[in-house]
A and B are shown apart, each in its own frame.
Chain A
Amino acid sequence: MAKVVFKVGDDVSTDIIYPGRFMATVLPTETPQYAFVDYPDFNAKIKKKEFPPQSIIVAGKNFGCGSSREQAASCLKGPDFVVIARNFSRIFLQNAINLGLKMVICPAIEASEGDELEITSDQVINKTSGKSFPIIALPKARQAIIDAGGLIPFARQLLLKGKR
Protein backbone atom coordinates (compact mmCIF):
# COMPACT_ATOMS: atom_id res chain seq x y z
CA MET A 1 0.00 0.00 0.00
CA ALA A 2 1.22 3.48 -0.81
CA LYS A 3 0.08 7.06 -0.68
CA VAL A 4 -0.97 9.38 -3.50
CA VAL A 5 1.51 12.24 -3.22
CA PHE A 6 0.60 14.21 -6.34
CA LYS A 7 -2.42 14.44 -8.61
CA VAL A 8 -2.55 15.96 -12.09
CA GLY A 9 -5.21 16.19 -14.82
CA ASP A 10 -5.48 15.18 -18.47
CA ASP A 11 -2.89 15.68 -21.24
CA VAL A 12 0.04 16.41 -18.94
CA SER A 13 2.83 17.03 -21.45
CA THR A 14 6.51 16.28 -21.15
CA ASP A 15 7.00 20.07 -21.01
CA ILE A 16 5.18 19.99 -17.67
CA ILE A 17 6.92 16.87 -16.36
CA TYR A 18 10.37 17.99 -17.51
CA PRO A 19 10.51 21.42 -19.19
CA GLY A 20 12.58 21.84 -22.35
CA ARG A 21 14.79 24.44 -20.74
CA PHE A 22 16.46 21.69 -18.68
CA MET A 23 17.01 19.28 -21.55
CA ALA A 24 20.77 19.79 -21.57
CA THR A 25 20.71 17.71 -18.39
CA VAL A 26 20.45 14.14 -19.61
CA LEU A 27 21.80 11.68 -17.06
CA PRO A 28 19.09 9.74 -15.18
CA THR A 29 21.02 10.41 -11.97
CA GLU A 30 20.66 14.18 -12.49
CA THR A 31 17.16 14.60 -13.97
CA PRO A 32 14.98 14.20 -10.82
CA GLN A 33 15.94 17.69 -9.58
CA TYR A 34 13.86 19.16 -12.45
CA ALA A 35 10.84 16.83 -12.20
CA PHE A 36 7.66 18.98 -12.24
CA VAL A 37 9.90 21.98 -11.59
CA ASP A 38 7.09 24.43 -12.40
CA TYR A 39 5.18 22.96 -9.44
CA PRO A 40 7.64 24.31 -6.86
CA ASP A 41 6.11 22.69 -3.75
CA PHE A 42 6.11 19.19 -5.21
CA ASN A 43 9.52 19.68 -6.80
CA ALA A 44 11.02 20.87 -3.50
CA LYS A 45 9.78 17.74 -1.75
CA ILE A 46 11.29 15.55 -4.49
CA LYS A 47 14.63 17.31 -4.05
CA LYS A 48 14.47 16.82 -0.28
CA LYS A 49 13.73 13.13 -0.92
CA GLU A 50 10.60 13.37 1.23
CA PHE A 51 8.69 10.63 -0.58
CA PRO A 52 9.17 6.95 0.26
CA PRO A 53 9.79 4.61 -2.72
CA GLN A 54 6.68 3.62 -4.73
CA SER A 55 4.83 6.80 -3.78
CA ILE A 56 2.01 7.34 -6.25
CA ILE A 57 1.33 10.04 -8.84
CA VAL A 58 -2.24 9.92 -10.17
CA ALA A 59 -2.94 11.36 -13.63
CA GLY A 60 -5.76 11.66 -16.13
CA LYS A 61 -5.65 10.61 -19.76
CA ASN A 62 -2.74 10.92 -22.20
CA PHE A 63 -0.05 11.35 -19.54
CA GLY A 64 3.34 12.21 -21.04
CA CYS A 65 2.10 13.53 -24.37
CA GLY A 66 4.43 15.59 -26.52
CA SER A 67 8.17 15.24 -26.77
CA SER A 68 10.14 12.00 -26.84
CA ARG A 69 12.52 13.33 -24.17
CA GLU A 70 13.42 10.45 -21.94
CA GLN A 71 14.16 12.80 -19.06
CA ALA A 72 10.39 12.90 -18.46
CA ALA A 73 10.50 9.21 -17.52
CA SER A 74 13.92 9.12 -15.86
CA CYS A 75 13.10 12.07 -13.57
CA LEU A 76 10.21 10.04 -12.11
CA LYS A 77 12.16 6.76 -12.06
CA GLY A 78 14.87 8.31 -9.89
CA PRO A 79 12.57 8.94 -6.88
CA ASP A 80 10.96 5.55 -7.64
CA PHE A 81 7.43 6.86 -8.21
CA VAL A 82 4.54 4.75 -9.47
CA VAL A 83 2.38 6.55 -12.04
CA ILE A 84 -1.28 5.58 -12.26
CA ALA A 85 -2.98 7.20 -15.26
CA ARG A 86 -6.21 6.80 -17.19
CA ASN A 87 -3.88 6.15 -20.11
CA PHE A 88 -0.40 7.08 -21.34
CA SER A 89 0.99 8.63 -24.48
CA ARG A 90 2.86 6.08 -26.63
CA ILE A 91 6.42 7.38 -26.47
CA PHE A 92 6.26 8.11 -22.74
CA LEU A 93 4.90 4.62 -22.09
CA GLN A 94 7.76 3.04 -24.04
CA ASN A 95 10.38 5.20 -22.38
CA ALA A 96 9.00 4.36 -18.95
CA ILE A 97 8.98 0.63 -19.70
CA ASN A 98 12.51 0.86 -21.08
CA LEU A 99 13.73 2.52 -17.88
CA GLY A 100 11.74 0.31 -15.53
CA LEU A 101 9.45 3.06 -14.21
CA LYS A 102 6.34 1.44 -12.79
CA MET A 103 3.13 2.47 -14.55
CA VAL A 104 -0.45 1.41 -14.10
CA ILE A 105 -3.15 2.00 -16.74
CA CYS A 106 -6.38 2.50 -14.85
CA PRO A 107 -9.04 4.19 -17.04
CA ALA A 108 -11.53 4.84 -14.22
CA ILE A 109 -9.12 5.76 -11.42
CA GLU A 110 -10.52 8.09 -8.76
CA ALA A 111 -8.15 9.15 -6.02
CA SER A 112 -7.09 12.30 -4.22
CA GLU A 113 -3.79 13.39 -2.79
CA GLY A 114 -3.32 11.66 0.56
CA ASP A 115 -5.39 8.58 -0.35
CA GLU A 116 -3.86 5.17 0.36
CA LEU A 117 -3.93 2.82 -2.64
CA GLU A 118 -3.24 -0.85 -3.04
CA ILE A 119 -2.26 -2.06 -6.50
CA THR A 120 -3.00 -5.72 -7.26
CA SER A 121 -2.48 -7.62 -10.50
CA ASP A 122 -5.81 -6.51 -11.92
CA GLN A 123 -7.08 -3.57 -9.92
CA VAL A 124 -6.30 -0.48 -7.92
CA ILE A 125 -8.03 -0.46 -4.53
CA ASN A 126 -8.50 2.96 -2.98
CA LYS A 127 -8.36 2.10 0.73
CA THR A 128 -9.42 5.61 1.68
CA SER A 129 -12.61 5.72 -0.41
CA GLY A 130 -13.25 1.98 -0.38
CA LYS A 131 -13.65 1.87 -4.17
CA SER A 132 -11.69 -0.29 -6.60
CA PHE A 133 -10.85 0.28 -10.26
CA PRO A 134 -9.80 -2.26 -12.92
CA ILE A 135 -6.36 -2.14 -14.53
CA ILE A 136 -5.61 -2.55 -18.22
CA ALA A 137 -2.48 -4.60 -18.85
CA LEU A 138 0.58 -2.90 -20.35
CA PRO A 139 1.18 -3.76 -24.04
CA LYS A 140 1.99 -7.47 -24.36
CA ALA A 141 4.62 -6.66 -26.96
CA ARG A 142 6.77 -5.06 -24.25
CA GLN A 143 6.34 -7.72 -21.56
CA ALA A 144 9.72 -9.33 -22.21
CA ILE A 145 11.38 -5.94 -21.64
CA ILE A 146 9.44 -5.39 -18.42
CA ASP A 147 10.41 -8.88 -17.23
CA ALA A 148 14.08 -8.20 -17.98
CA GLY A 149 13.93 -5.07 -15.80
CA GLY A 150 14.20 -2.62 -18.69
CA LEU A 151 15.56 -2.30 -22.18
CA ILE A 152 19.24 -2.03 -21.26
CA PRO A 153 19.44 -5.47 -19.64
CA PHE A 154 17.12 -6.87 -22.34
CA ALA A 155 19.25 -5.57 -25.21
CA ARG A 156 22.40 -6.73 -23.40
CA GLN A 157 21.00 -10.27 -23.19
CA LEU A 158 20.29 -10.24 -26.94
CA LEU A 159 23.81 -9.01 -27.72
CA LEU A 160 25.36 -11.71 -25.54
CA LYS A 161 23.25 -14.33 -27.32
CA GLY A 162 24.69 -13.02 -30.59
CA LYS A 163 21.27 -11.84 -31.83
CA ARG A 164 22.47 -8.70 -33.46
Chain B
Amino acid sequence: MGMTMVEKILARATGQAAVKAGDVLEPRVDLAMSHENGALVINQFNEIYQDTGLEAKVWDPSKIAIIFDHRVPAESSKTAGNQKKIRDFVAKQGIAKFHDIRGDSGGICHQILPEFGYVQPGSVVVGTDSHTTSHGALGAFSFGIGATEMAAVWALGRVLNVEVPGTIKVVCEGKFKRHVAPKDLILHLVGKLTAEGANFKVIEFHGPAIDSMSTSGRLVICNMTVEAGATSGIVPPDAETLRYLKDEAGVAEVPELFGPDADAAYDQVITINVSKLQPQIACPHTVDNVKPIKQVLGVKLNQIVIGSCTNGRLDDLAIAAKILKGKKVAKGTRMLIFPASTRIYLQALKKGYVATFMEAGAVVMNSGCGPCLGVHQGALADGDVALATTNRNFKGRMGNPNAEVYLCSPAVAAASAITGVITDPRKKGE
Protein backbone atom coordinates (compact mmCIF):
# COMPACT_ATOMS: atom_id res chain seq x y z
CA MET B 1 0.00 0.00 0.00
CA GLY B 2 1.30 3.43 -0.93
CA MET B 3 1.53 6.54 1.21
CA THR B 4 -0.47 9.75 1.37
CA MET B 5 1.30 13.09 1.04
CA VAL B 6 1.66 13.49 4.81
CA GLU B 7 2.72 9.88 5.38
CA LYS B 8 5.50 10.43 2.84
CA ILE B 9 6.63 13.66 4.49
CA LEU B 10 6.63 12.04 7.94
CA ALA B 11 8.56 9.01 6.66
CA ARG B 12 11.27 11.37 5.40
CA ALA B 13 11.18 13.45 8.57
CA THR B 14 11.86 10.35 10.66
CA GLY B 15 14.27 8.60 8.29
CA GLN B 16 11.99 5.64 7.62
CA ALA B 17 11.07 3.92 4.37
CA ALA B 18 7.37 3.97 5.17
CA VAL B 19 4.92 5.07 7.84
CA LYS B 20 1.17 4.72 8.04
CA ALA B 21 -1.73 6.47 9.73
CA GLY B 22 -1.79 5.65 13.44
CA ASP B 23 1.98 5.24 13.82
CA VAL B 24 3.47 7.32 16.63
CA LEU B 25 6.52 9.33 15.57
CA GLU B 26 8.79 12.17 16.57
CA PRO B 27 9.41 14.07 13.34
CA ARG B 28 12.21 16.62 13.08
CA VAL B 29 10.92 20.13 12.55
CA ASP B 30 12.03 22.22 9.57
CA LEU B 31 10.30 25.44 10.62
CA ALA B 32 8.80 26.51 13.96
CA MET B 33 6.69 29.67 13.82
CA SER B 34 5.29 31.84 16.60
CA HIS B 35 3.79 35.32 16.87
CA GLU B 36 3.10 37.41 19.98
CA ASN B 37 2.29 34.23 21.87
CA GLY B 38 6.02 33.62 21.66
CA ALA B 39 6.00 35.42 25.02
CA LEU B 40 4.26 32.39 26.54
CA VAL B 41 6.51 30.00 24.62
CA ILE B 42 9.55 31.74 26.14
CA ASN B 43 8.02 31.35 29.60
CA GLN B 44 7.40 27.60 29.08
CA PHE B 45 10.81 27.13 27.40
CA ASN B 46 12.58 28.61 30.41
CA GLU B 47 10.51 26.41 32.67
CA ILE B 48 11.66 23.27 30.82
CA TYR B 49 15.27 24.26 31.50
CA GLN B 50 14.65 25.23 35.12
CA ASP B 51 16.91 23.36 37.58
CA THR B 52 18.51 21.31 34.79
CA GLY B 53 21.86 23.06 34.97
CA LEU B 54 21.69 23.30 31.17
CA GLU B 55 21.91 26.53 29.24
CA ALA B 56 18.53 27.45 27.74
CA LYS B 57 19.51 27.62 24.05
CA VAL B 58 17.07 26.85 21.25
CA TRP B 59 17.96 23.80 19.17
CA ASP B 60 18.43 25.71 15.90
CA PRO B 61 17.76 29.45 15.67
CA SER B 62 17.73 29.30 11.84
CA LYS B 63 14.59 27.15 11.95
CA ILE B 64 12.57 29.45 14.19
CA ALA B 65 10.44 32.26 12.78
CA ILE B 66 8.69 34.92 14.87
CA ILE B 67 6.29 37.36 13.30
CA PHE B 68 4.42 40.12 15.14
CA ASP B 69 0.91 40.31 13.73
CA HIS B 70 -1.81 39.76 16.31
CA ARG B 71 -1.62 43.15 17.99
CA VAL B 72 0.38 45.54 15.79
CA PRO B 73 1.20 48.20 16.70
CA ALA B 74 0.76 47.26 20.36
CA GLU B 75 -2.69 48.17 21.70
CA SER B 76 -1.59 48.17 25.35
CA SER B 77 1.46 48.37 27.53
CA LYS B 78 0.98 44.69 28.33
CA THR B 79 1.29 43.70 24.66
CA ALA B 80 4.20 46.09 24.21
CA GLY B 81 5.87 44.35 27.13
CA ASN B 82 5.32 40.92 25.58
CA GLN B 83 6.74 42.15 22.28
CA LYS B 84 9.77 43.61 24.06
CA LYS B 85 10.35 40.31 25.87
CA ILE B 86 10.32 38.51 22.51
CA ARG B 87 12.68 41.05 20.89
CA ASP B 88 15.19 40.49 23.70
CA PHE B 89 14.90 36.70 23.35
CA VAL B 90 15.27 36.86 19.54
CA ALA B 91 18.46 38.93 19.90
CA LYS B 92 19.90 36.67 22.58
CA GLN B 93 19.17 33.43 20.69
CA GLY B 94 20.21 34.77 17.26
CA ILE B 95 16.83 34.20 15.56
CA ALA B 96 17.09 35.84 12.12
CA LYS B 97 13.60 35.06 10.77
CA PHE B 98 12.08 37.76 12.94
CA HIS B 99 9.51 40.18 11.56
CA ASP B 100 9.00 43.16 13.81
CA ILE B 101 6.49 45.98 13.34
CA ARG B 102 7.81 47.48 10.11
CA GLY B 103 6.34 48.87 6.90
CA ASP B 104 8.84 47.11 4.64
CA SER B 105 8.80 43.54 5.92
CA GLY B 106 5.86 43.05 8.26
CA GLY B 107 2.56 41.29 7.98
CA ILE B 108 0.52 38.32 9.04
CA CYS B 109 2.58 35.23 9.84
CA HIS B 110 0.70 33.04 7.36
CA GLN B 111 1.52 35.46 4.57
CA ILE B 112 5.11 36.22 5.65
CA LEU B 113 6.11 32.54 5.78
CA PRO B 114 5.31 31.78 2.12
CA GLU B 115 6.21 35.28 0.88
CA PHE B 116 9.74 35.11 2.29
CA GLY B 117 10.32 31.56 1.05
CA TYR B 118 10.49 30.07 4.56
CA VAL B 119 8.23 27.12 3.68
CA GLN B 120 9.67 24.29 1.59
CA PRO B 121 7.55 21.62 -0.10
CA GLY B 122 7.85 18.30 1.72
CA SER B 123 8.93 19.90 4.99
CA VAL B 124 7.44 19.76 8.50
CA VAL B 125 6.18 23.11 9.77
CA VAL B 126 4.65 23.80 13.18
CA GLY B 127 3.22 27.06 14.42
CA THR B 128 1.59 28.33 17.58
CA ASP B 129 -1.45 29.34 15.58
CA SER B 130 -4.29 27.15 14.41
CA HIS B 131 -4.20 28.56 10.88
CA THR B 132 -0.68 27.17 10.41
CA THR B 133 -2.60 24.70 8.22
CA SER B 134 -2.18 27.38 5.52
CA HIS B 135 1.31 26.27 4.50
CA GLY B 136 0.06 22.97 3.18
CA ALA B 137 -0.60 25.14 0.12
CA LEU B 138 3.11 24.73 -0.68
CA GLY B 139 3.13 20.98 -0.07
CA ALA B 140 4.42 21.07 3.52
CA PHE B 141 2.91 19.19 6.46
CA SER B 142 2.06 22.22 8.52
CA PHE B 143 -0.01 22.22 11.68
CA GLY B 144 -0.92 24.30 14.71
CA ILE B 145 0.34 23.51 18.21
CA GLY B 146 0.13 25.15 21.62
CA ALA B 147 2.77 27.23 23.33
CA THR B 148 4.09 24.48 25.61
CA GLU B 149 4.34 22.08 22.67
CA MET B 150 6.36 24.77 20.89
CA ALA B 151 8.62 25.23 23.91
CA ALA B 152 9.47 21.52 23.66
CA VAL B 153 10.17 21.95 19.91
CA TRP B 154 12.49 24.87 20.65
CA ALA B 155 14.33 22.69 23.17
CA LEU B 156 14.39 19.38 21.27
CA GLY B 157 13.97 20.18 17.56
CA ARG B 158 11.22 17.64 17.06
CA VAL B 159 7.55 17.23 17.83
CA LEU B 160 7.04 14.58 20.46
CA ASN B 161 4.62 11.71 20.12
CA VAL B 162 2.85 12.66 16.92
CA GLU B 163 0.25 10.21 15.70
CA VAL B 164 0.34 10.02 11.90
CA PRO B 165 -3.07 11.38 10.87
CA GLY B 166 -5.40 9.69 8.44
CA THR B 167 -6.20 11.63 5.27
CA ILE B 168 -9.41 12.74 3.58
CA LYS B 169 -8.91 13.16 -0.16
CA VAL B 170 -10.93 16.00 -1.68
CA VAL B 171 -11.12 15.97 -5.49
CA CYS B 172 -12.20 19.28 -6.99
CA GLU B 173 -13.59 18.96 -10.50
CA GLY B 174 -14.70 21.67 -12.88
CA LYS B 175 -13.97 25.38 -13.21
CA PHE B 176 -14.96 28.26 -10.95
CA LYS B 177 -17.67 30.51 -12.38
CA ARG B 178 -17.17 34.27 -12.31
CA HIS B 179 -17.27 35.68 -8.75
CA VAL B 180 -17.04 32.20 -7.24
CA ALA B 181 -13.71 31.73 -5.50
CA PRO B 182 -11.55 29.29 -3.51
CA LYS B 183 -13.17 30.83 -0.38
CA ASP B 184 -16.55 29.54 -1.55
CA LEU B 185 -15.05 26.09 -2.10
CA ILE B 186 -13.61 25.87 1.41
CA LEU B 187 -16.74 27.29 3.07
CA HIS B 188 -18.80 24.70 1.19
CA LEU B 189 -16.42 21.94 2.28
CA VAL B 190 -16.44 23.01 5.95
CA GLY B 191 -20.25 23.09 5.84
CA LYS B 192 -20.29 19.60 4.37
CA LEU B 193 -17.75 18.10 6.79
CA THR B 194 -18.95 20.09 9.86
CA ALA B 195 -16.68 21.71 12.44
CA GLU B 196 -15.41 18.36 13.70
CA GLY B 197 -15.66 16.31 10.50
CA ALA B 198 -11.92 16.30 9.89
CA ASN B 199 -10.75 16.34 13.54
CA PHE B 200 -7.32 14.61 13.77
CA LYS B 201 -7.21 14.22 9.97
CA VAL B 202 -5.45 15.83 7.02
CA ILE B 203 -7.36 17.11 3.99
CA GLU B 204 -5.42 16.47 0.76
CA PHE B 205 -6.64 18.45 -2.26
CA HIS B 206 -6.64 17.15 -5.83
CA GLY B 207 -8.33 17.70 -9.18
CA PRO B 208 -8.37 20.13 -12.09
CA ALA B 209 -9.79 23.02 -10.05
CA ILE B 210 -6.78 22.73 -7.72
CA ASP B 211 -4.30 22.27 -10.58
CA SER B 212 -5.40 25.57 -12.10
CA MET B 213 -5.60 27.38 -8.74
CA SER B 214 -2.93 29.93 -7.81
CA THR B 215 -0.88 29.50 -4.63
CA SER B 216 -2.89 32.38 -3.22
CA GLY B 217 -6.10 30.37 -3.65
CA ARG B 218 -4.47 27.25 -2.24
CA LEU B 219 -3.49 29.24 0.84
CA VAL B 220 -7.18 30.15 1.29
CA ILE B 221 -8.39 26.56 1.22
CA CYS B 222 -5.59 25.13 3.35
CA ASN B 223 -5.96 28.01 5.84
CA MET B 224 -9.55 27.10 6.61
CA THR B 225 -9.21 23.30 6.75
CA VAL B 226 -8.79 23.77 10.51
CA GLU B 227 -12.39 25.01 10.60
CA ALA B 228 -13.41 21.43 9.87
CA GLY B 229 -11.08 20.37 12.68
CA ALA B 230 -8.32 19.19 10.33
CA THR B 231 -4.75 18.86 11.57
CA SER B 232 -3.69 20.25 8.22
CA GLY B 233 -4.67 20.82 4.62
CA ILE B 234 -2.22 19.98 1.86
CA VAL B 235 -1.88 20.42 -1.89
CA PRO B 236 0.68 18.17 -3.60
CA PRO B 237 3.29 20.59 -5.00
CA ASP B 238 3.42 21.15 -8.75
CA ALA B 239 4.55 23.60 -11.45
CA GLU B 240 2.51 26.39 -9.81
CA THR B 241 4.30 25.75 -6.51
CA LEU B 242 7.64 26.05 -8.29
CA ARG B 243 6.52 29.25 -10.01
CA TYR B 244 5.42 30.79 -6.70
CA LEU B 245 8.59 29.82 -4.84
CA LYS B 246 10.94 31.08 -7.57
CA ASP B 247 9.07 34.12 -8.92
CA GLU B 248 7.24 35.41 -5.85
CA ALA B 249 9.18 34.10 -2.87
CA GLY B 250 12.64 34.41 -4.45
CA VAL B 251 13.73 30.90 -3.47
CA ALA B 252 16.87 29.93 -5.39
CA GLU B 253 16.88 26.22 -4.72
CA VAL B 254 13.68 24.24 -4.40
CA PRO B 255 13.96 20.65 -3.16
CA GLU B 256 12.78 17.82 -5.36
CA LEU B 257 8.99 17.76 -5.42
CA PHE B 258 7.00 14.65 -4.58
CA GLY B 259 3.32 13.80 -4.37
CA PRO B 260 1.36 11.01 -2.73
CA ASP B 261 1.51 7.47 -4.11
CA ALA B 262 -1.21 6.54 -6.60
CA ASP B 263 -2.28 3.66 -4.33
CA ALA B 264 -2.27 5.65 -1.07
CA ALA B 265 -4.96 4.70 1.46
CA TYR B 266 -7.49 7.42 2.26
CA ASP B 267 -10.07 7.43 5.06
CA GLN B 268 -12.60 9.08 2.80
CA VAL B 269 -12.79 10.53 -0.73
CA ILE B 270 -15.03 13.54 -1.41
CA THR B 271 -15.65 14.93 -4.90
CA ILE B 272 -16.83 18.50 -5.41
CA ASN B 273 -17.71 20.03 -8.77
CA VAL B 274 -16.76 23.68 -8.37
CA SER B 275 -18.62 24.60 -11.60
CA LYS B 276 -21.83 24.15 -9.64
CA LEU B 277 -20.79 26.28 -6.67
CA GLN B 278 -22.51 29.55 -5.80
CA PRO B 279 -21.03 32.14 -3.45
CA GLN B 280 -21.22 30.70 0.08
CA ILE B 281 -21.82 32.42 3.41
CA ALA B 282 -20.92 31.08 6.86
CA CYS B 283 -23.62 32.36 9.20
CA PRO B 284 -23.33 33.13 12.93
CA HIS B 285 -21.96 31.66 15.17
CA THR B 286 -20.14 28.67 13.69
CA VAL B 287 -18.03 28.36 10.55
CA ASP B 288 -19.87 25.21 9.50
CA ASN B 289 -23.24 27.04 9.43
CA VAL B 290 -22.79 27.55 5.69
CA LYS B 291 -25.55 28.58 3.29
CA PRO B 292 -25.62 29.48 -0.40
CA ILE B 293 -25.82 33.26 -0.71
CA LYS B 294 -29.40 33.31 -2.02
CA GLN B 295 -30.63 32.21 1.42
CA VAL B 296 -29.12 35.20 3.23
CA LEU B 297 -29.42 38.02 0.70
CA GLY B 298 -30.43 41.35 2.20
CA VAL B 299 -29.05 40.89 5.73
CA LYS B 300 -28.23 44.40 6.94
CA LEU B 301 -24.54 45.04 7.67
CA ASN B 302 -22.84 47.50 10.01
CA GLN B 303 -19.27 46.51 9.18
CA ILE B 304 -17.50 44.89 6.24
CA VAL B 305 -13.99 43.54 6.64
CA ILE B 306 -11.63 42.48 3.85
CA GLY B 307 -8.28 41.08 4.88
CA SER B 308 -6.67 38.50 7.18
CA CYS B 309 -4.48 35.45 6.55
CA THR B 310 -7.42 33.97 4.66
CA ASN B 311 -8.29 36.67 2.12
CA GLY B 312 -5.94 39.65 2.39
CA ARG B 313 -3.73 38.94 -0.62
CA LEU B 314 -3.28 40.97 -3.80
CA ASP B 315 -5.79 38.98 -5.88
CA ASP B 316 -8.37 39.47 -3.11
CA LEU B 317 -7.76 43.22 -3.08
CA ALA B 318 -7.82 43.30 -6.90
CA ILE B 319 -11.31 41.83 -7.12
CA ALA B 320 -12.56 44.13 -4.36
CA ALA B 321 -11.04 47.19 -6.09
CA LYS B 322 -12.63 46.19 -9.41
CA ILE B 323 -16.06 46.03 -7.79
CA LEU B 324 -15.62 49.19 -5.70
CA LYS B 325 -14.05 51.36 -8.42
CA GLY B 326 -16.05 54.56 -8.68
CA LYS B 327 -18.61 53.36 -6.13
CA LYS B 328 -19.30 54.34 -2.52
CA VAL B 329 -19.58 52.28 0.64
CA ALA B 330 -23.22 52.49 1.76
CA LYS B 331 -24.12 55.04 4.43
CA GLY B 332 -24.38 53.40 7.84
CA THR B 333 -21.85 50.72 6.89
CA ARG B 334 -18.18 50.83 7.85
CA MET B 335 -15.64 49.13 5.60
CA LEU B 336 -12.23 48.06 6.88
CA ILE B 337 -9.53 46.66 4.62
CA PHE B 338 -6.27 45.25 5.91
CA PRO B 339 -3.75 43.74 3.48
CA ALA B 340 -2.08 40.54 4.69
CA SER B 341 1.44 41.92 4.45
CA THR B 342 3.22 45.20 3.90
CA ARG B 343 4.53 43.86 0.58
CA ILE B 344 0.94 43.34 -0.56
CA TYR B 345 0.02 46.78 0.82
CA LEU B 346 2.76 48.38 -1.29
CA GLN B 347 1.68 46.45 -4.39
CA ALA B 348 -1.92 47.55 -3.79
CA LEU B 349 -0.72 51.14 -3.47
CA LYS B 350 1.16 50.96 -6.75
CA LYS B 351 -1.80 49.42 -8.56
CA GLY B 352 -4.10 52.13 -7.27
CA TYR B 353 -6.29 49.80 -5.19
CA VAL B 354 -5.69 51.72 -1.98
CA ALA B 355 -6.87 54.96 -3.62
CA THR B 356 -9.95 53.17 -4.98
CA PHE B 357 -10.78 51.87 -1.51
CA MET B 358 -10.29 55.22 0.20
CA GLU B 359 -12.28 57.10 -2.45
CA ALA B 360 -15.08 54.59 -1.93
CA GLY B 361 -15.04 55.37 1.80
CA ALA B 362 -13.21 52.30 3.10
CA VAL B 363 -10.59 52.57 5.84
CA VAL B 364 -7.34 50.89 4.81
CA MET B 365 -5.57 49.63 7.92
CA ASN B 366 -2.04 48.43 8.51
CA SER B 367 -1.15 44.80 7.86
CA GLY B 368 -1.85 42.48 10.76
CA CYS B 369 -4.58 40.31 12.23
CA GLY B 370 -6.64 43.42 12.93
CA PRO B 371 -10.38 42.98 13.46
CA CYS B 372 -10.36 39.25 12.69
CA LEU B 373 -9.70 38.26 16.26
CA GLY B 374 -11.24 41.31 17.90
CA VAL B 375 -8.25 42.29 19.96
CA HIS B 376 -7.66 45.93 19.21
CA GLN B 377 -9.17 47.19 15.97
CA GLY B 378 -12.62 47.15 14.46
CA ALA B 379 -14.50 45.78 17.46
CA LEU B 380 -18.27 45.54 17.08
CA ALA B 381 -21.03 47.16 19.15
CA ASP B 382 -23.85 45.17 20.75
CA GLY B 383 -26.26 44.14 18.01
CA ASP B 384 -23.81 44.93 15.18
CA VAL B 385 -23.66 42.62 12.17
CA ALA B 386 -20.39 42.18 10.27
CA LEU B 387 -19.54 40.50 6.98
CA ALA B 388 -15.89 39.50 6.71
CA THR B 389 -13.48 37.64 4.46
CA THR B 390 -11.80 36.30 7.60
CA ASN B 391 -11.95 32.73 8.84
CA ARG B 392 -13.96 32.63 12.07
CA ASN B 393 -17.36 33.83 13.21
CA PHE B 394 -17.48 32.36 16.69
CA LYS B 395 -19.49 34.23 19.29
CA GLY B 396 -17.25 37.00 20.58
CA ARG B 397 -14.73 36.64 17.77
CA MET B 398 -14.77 40.25 16.58
CA GLY B 399 -14.49 41.60 20.10
CA ASN B 400 -18.14 41.35 21.19
CA PRO B 401 -20.26 38.31 22.12
CA ASN B 402 -23.42 40.34 21.45
CA ALA B 403 -22.60 40.89 17.78
CA GLU B 404 -22.85 38.66 14.70
CA VAL B 405 -20.24 37.82 12.06
CA TYR B 406 -20.90 36.35 8.60
CA LEU B 407 -18.01 35.03 6.47
CA CYS B 408 -17.66 35.32 2.69
CA SER B 409 -15.34 35.83 -0.29
CA PRO B 410 -13.81 39.21 -1.20
CA ALA B 411 -16.21 39.63 -4.15
CA VAL B 412 -19.25 39.21 -1.90
CA ALA B 413 -17.78 41.56 0.71
CA ALA B 414 -17.11 44.28 -1.87
CA ALA B 415 -20.51 44.01 -3.55
CA SER B 416 -22.20 44.09 -0.13
CA ALA B 417 -20.24 47.18 0.94
CA ILE B 418 -21.91 49.18 -1.82
CA THR B 419 -25.44 48.16 -0.80
CA GLY B 420 -24.96 47.77 2.96
CA VAL B 421 -26.69 44.39 2.85
CA ILE B 422 -25.50 40.90 1.87
CA THR B 423 -25.41 41.09 -1.92
CA ASP B 424 -24.60 38.62 -4.69
CA PRO B 425 -21.71 39.99 -6.78
CA ARG B 426 -23.00 38.16 -9.87
CA LYS B 427 -25.39 39.83 -12.23
CA LYS B 428 -28.89 38.42 -12.55
CA GLY B 429 -28.91 35.28 -14.65
CA GLU B 430 -25.19 34.54 -14.11
Contacts and interface: CB of A to CB of B under 8 A. Distances in A.
Interface of A: 11, 13, 15-16, 19-21, 23-27, 38, 61-62, 65-71, 73, 87, 89-91, 94-95, 98-99, 139-142, 144-145, 150-152, 154-156, 158-160, 163-164
Contacts of A154: 152, 160
Given A65-B195, A151-B149, A20 B373 contact: yes
A57 B388 CA distance: 33
Contact of B82 (A15, A26, A65, A87): A26
22 contacts: A11-B288, A19-B374, A21-B379, A23-B36, A23-B37, A26-B39, A68-B144, A70-B37, A70-B40, A89-B196, A91-B144, A94-B145, A94-B146, A95-B149, A98-B148, A144-B161, A155-B155, A156-B50, A156-B52, A159-B49, A159-B155, A163-B156
Per CB-CB distance, the 6 closest pairs between chain A and chain B, nearest first, are A95-B146, A26-B40, A62-B196, A155-B152, A13-B394, A20-B373
Contacts of A158: 156, 160
B135 interface: no
A16 B396 contact: yes
Main secondary structure, interface of B, reads loop
Contacts, number: 156
Interface stretch (B71-79, B171-179, B203-211, B331-339): B71-79
Contacts of A66: 130, 392, 394
B199 A151 contact: no
B185 interface: no
A62 B195 CA distance: 8
B375 A23 contact: yes
Contact of B146 (A65, A91, A145): A91
A19 B396 contact: yes
B406 to A, nearest CB: 16
A59 B152 CA distance: 29
A73 B146 contact: yes
Contacts of B401: 19, 38
Nearest to A150: B148
Nearest to B56: A159
Given A62-B195, A160-B52, A145 B155 contact: no
